[in-house]
């Protein structure tokens, strides 16, 4: 292999690693926002919390993080439901199975 090709592979690998780290960071930030919103909305209600408070509680430095990830507060509320849905569906399945087996 030529030196240029080897350098290109090295740069490509570094870009790939950096992209993977950024994707993980974005995913973590999104979950942090969802969980912070769920907690704050649960405590104070949907009208008792600002988007800024949610972003700060999530540990994000970006004031527009809710807009970036969810478009608006409504999108964030939908994301909270989607985040919790797998657990709720699993529990629902368990309860239905228990009900069917008891009859």
The answer to whether 53 and 40 have CB atoms below 8 angstroms apart is yes
Mean pLDDT over the full length of the chain: 89
Helix axes 3-44, 73-101, angle to 10 degrees: 80
Tell me, what's the pLDDT at 47? Answer: 96
The answer to whether 59 and 32 have CB atoms below 8 angstroms apart is yes
pLDDT tens per residue across span 15-40: 888 899 999 999 999 999 999 999 99
Whether 2 shows a pLDDT value over 70: the answer reads: no
From the list 80, 12, 82, the residue with the least C-alpha distance to 46 is 80
Q: Which CATH architecture has domain 3-101?
A: Orthogonal Bundle (1.10)
């Amino acid at each position: 292999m030529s030196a240029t090709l080897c350098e290109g592979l090295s740069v490509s690998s570094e870009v790939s690693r950096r992209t993977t780290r950024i994707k993980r960071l974005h995913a973590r930030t999104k979950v942090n926002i969802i969980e912070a919103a769920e907690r704050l909305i649960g405590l104070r209600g949907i009208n008792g919390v600002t988007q800024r408070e949610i972003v700060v509680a999530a540990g994000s430095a970006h004031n527009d993080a809710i807009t970036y990830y969810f478009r608006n507060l409504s999108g964030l509320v939908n994301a909270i439901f989607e985040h919790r849905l797998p657990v709720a569906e699993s529990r629902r399945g368990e309860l239905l199975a228990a009900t069917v087996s008891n009859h």
